Amino acid sequence: MSGSPALFLLEPAAPAQDARFVLAPLDTLDRTRPLASLRLDGLVVPASACLARGDNAAQGMARAWWHGKLMLAAEQLGAAQQCLDLTVAYASERIQFGRAIASFQAVKHRCAQMMVLVEAARSAVYGAAQAWEAAAMSDARLEIAAASVAADDALRFSAQEAIQLHGGVGFTWEYDPQLYFKRAQAASQWLGGAGAALAYIAANGPQAWRTA
């Protein structure tokens, strides 16, 4: 079917030797996750490499996109939890005015807010994972969209708070918060980001959510 989507499985070693296959590393904000651009310029592949065409291919790509969205939310949750753990550990060791800064009420409140967002994201991600395994695809998409928003919020807030509560050293390469801050900024743009998830919820959620 001319013009319809199709999925092909390529052996990495074969096209890599072909000049029409161009794989170029990208310079990205998050250097802990290497990315590259892939260009296929007139590359010919055998018909036997085709996995699906038309609607089957479109459904497969959609399912892969939503599964990637769920996996990204789970990763963001884990990164947010690590930001909280790093911050609590540092605040317990950093001495100011003769005592650990973890004893100051303002620091406790900020760590508590991080924990609230992390736990909310954890519930959303676990619920989305369960829906992916057990529910209809349409129901799972709503759960994944909600988890994506919650996890994105949790990581971005926790990463910036980790930077702030580590003080001046939070920006330095000797400490890890700057890595999580970069990951938070980069991940917020992948697979449409929270904006795409919110748009999906607005268009497909319960009628009450769409009523102004």
**Which residues have C-beta within 8 Å of that of residue 16, sequence separation ≥ 6?**
23
What are the structural domains, with CATH classification, of the chain?
6-52 (no CATH), 63-210 (1.20.140.10)
Q: Give the C-alpha distances (Å, rounded to integers) separating 88 from 114, 153, 159.
A: 10, 19, 13
Cβ-contact 121, 147 below 8 angstroms: yes
The predicted pLDDT at position 164 comes to: 93
Where does residue 191 fall: left (phi above 0), alpha (psi -120 to 50 degrees), or beta otherwise?
A: left
The Cα 167–Cα 97 span in angstroms is 15
The predicted pLDDT at position 14 comes to: 62
The per-residue pLDDT string of the chain (212 residues; one tens digit each, 9 = 90 and over) reads 566 888 888 777 666 677 778 888 898 888 888 888 888 888 778 888 899 989 888 888 888 999 999 999 999 999 999 999 999 999 998 888 989 888 899 999 999 999 999 999 999 999 999 999 886 677 799 999 999 999 999 999 999 999 999 987 888 888 899 999 999 999 999 999 999 999 998 888 775 445 54
Provide the sign of the torsion angle of the four alpha carbons 171, 177, 175, 164, taken in this order: positive
The Cα 35–Cα 44 span in angstroms is 24
Question: Is pTM, for the whole model, over 0.75?
Answer: yes
Q: Give the C-alpha distances (Å, rounded to integers) separating 50 from 4, 13, 16, 64, 112.
A: 13, 17, 18, 17, 51
Task: Give the Cβ contact number of residue 128 at 10 Å.
Answer: 27
Task: Give the Cβ contact number of residue 70 at 10 Å.
Answer: 23
Cβ-contact 71, 144 below 8 angstroms: no
The Cα 212–Cα 205 span in angstroms is 13
Give the three-class secondary structure for 100.
strand
Q: What are phi and psi of 38, to 5 degrees?
A: -120, 125
**Which residues have C-beta within 8 Å of that of residue 18, sequence separation ≥ 6?**
43
| Side chain identity at residue 211, one-letter code | T
The predicted pLDDT at position 209 comes to: 47
Q: Which of 30, 160, 29, 150 is nearest to 84 (CA)?
A: 160
The predicted pLDDT at position 208 comes to: 46
